[in-house]
């Protein structure tokens, strides 16, 4: 039967190996689950049909064996009754049934083997589906963790850029401080130059002498 031609491939398939080679394990699992679920439906239907055939073949085989036993018993009874002709007829029927027995046995053995294979395939598919379901949840969990880690990596990168900006700002601030210190120093140097000193001395000795005289007179009056 058609499904039996796939028995070898299904039984030899390694789900874990397929997942390990997949570029996108989650999509691979979804596809495998769809395929296996479809196969499982077919296998169940075929298994039921083959098991029914096995039961039919077993029933026909058992009926033939039972008829052979009956013919043997009737032949004995016919001889006991003194009728060799009847006994011969029963034995001839027994021989005819016996010639069919080997074919019926082979048919039953084949149907039984097919039923065993189908059952094994059914159990393998159920196991693979359960394995994929388990792996699917695990992979989804890992992908969620990976996405979280990726977001954290981006945030860390942003923090690093912010630190670089702060460091650059501090550098520019230092440059500004140096420029300001240089300007202040230059202003101080300019304020203490020769021209400034002469100007100050000139102002010192150019003060109004009348103020000093008035101050001296005021002191003298107070001493009286």
User: To 10 degrees, the CA torsion angle through 93, 94, 96, 102?
Assistant: 160
User: What's the token pair of residue 45?
Assistant: 């239907």
- Cα(209)–Cα(172) distance, integer angstroms: 55
**How sure is the predictor about 95, in pLDDT bands with cuts at 50, 70 and 90?**
very high
Mean pLDDT across 91-115 = 94
Structure-token match 């601030």, residue found? 173
What pLDDT is attached to residue 193?
Answer: 54
User: What's the token pair of residue 77?
Assistant: 């009874």
Are 62 and 50 contacting, i.e. CB atoms less than 8 angstroms apart? no
User: What's the token pair of residue 173?
Assistant: 């601030």
Distance between terminal CA atoms of the chain? 148
Are 36 and 118 contacting, i.e. CB atoms less than 8 angstroms apart? no
- Is pLDDT above 90 for 53? yes
Cβ burial of 33 (10 Å; 0-12, 13-18, 19+) is: middle
Cβ burial of 32 (10 Å; 0-12, 13-18, 19+) is: buried
**How sure is the predictor about 206, in pLDDT bands with cuts at 50, 70 and 90?**
low
What pLDDT is attached to residue 108?
Answer: 95
Q: What's the number of CA atoms in the CB half-sphere (13 Å) around residue 45? A: 8
pLDDT, tens digit, 9 for 90 and up, residues 164-202: 666 666 777 777 778 777 777 777 666 655 555 666 656
- Is pLDDT above 80 for 8? no
- Is pLDDT above 70 for 91? yes
pTM of the prediction?
A: 0.50
Residue 6 DSSP one-character state: G
What pLDDT is attached to residue 3?
Answer: 55
pLDDT, tens digit, 9 for 90 and up, residues 76-86: 999 999 999 99
pLDDT, tens digit, 9 for 90 and up, residues 121-143: 888 888 888 888 887 777 777 76
Evaluate the CA torsion angle 212, 216, 217, 221 in order and state its sign.
Answer: positive
Are 10 and 39 contacting, i.e. CB atoms less than 8 angstroms apart? yes
What pLDDT is attached to residue 202?
Answer: 65
- Is pLDDT above 80 for 70? yes
């Amino acid at each position: 039967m058609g499904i039996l031609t796939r028995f070898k491939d299904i039984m030899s398939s390694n789900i874990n190996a397929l997942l390990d080679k997949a570029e996108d394990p989650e999509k691979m699992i979804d596809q495998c689950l769809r395929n296996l679920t479809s196969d499982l439906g077919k296998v169940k239907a075929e298994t039921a049909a083959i098991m029914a055939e096995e039961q039919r073949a077993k029933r026909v085989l058992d009926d033939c064996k039972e008829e052979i036993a009956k013919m043997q018993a009737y032949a004995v009874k016919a001889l006991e009754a003194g009728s060799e002709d009847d006994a011969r007829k029963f034995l001839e029927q027994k021989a005819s049934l016996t010639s069919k027995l080997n074919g019926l046995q082979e048919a039953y053995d084949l149907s039984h083997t097919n039923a065993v294979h189908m059952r094994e395939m059914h159990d393998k598919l159920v196991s693979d589906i359960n394995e994929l379901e388990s792996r699917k949840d695990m992979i989804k969990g890992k992908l969620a963790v990976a996405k979280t880690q990726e977001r954290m990596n981006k945030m860390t990168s942003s923090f690093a850029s912010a630190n670089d900006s702060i460091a650059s700002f501090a550098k520019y601030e230092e440059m500004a401080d140096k420029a300001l210190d240089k300007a202040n120093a230059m202003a101080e140097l300019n304020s203490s130059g020769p021209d400034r000193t002469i100007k100050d001395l000139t102002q010192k000795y150019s003060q109004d002498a009348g103020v000093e005289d008035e101050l001296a007179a005021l002191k003298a009056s107070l001493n009286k």
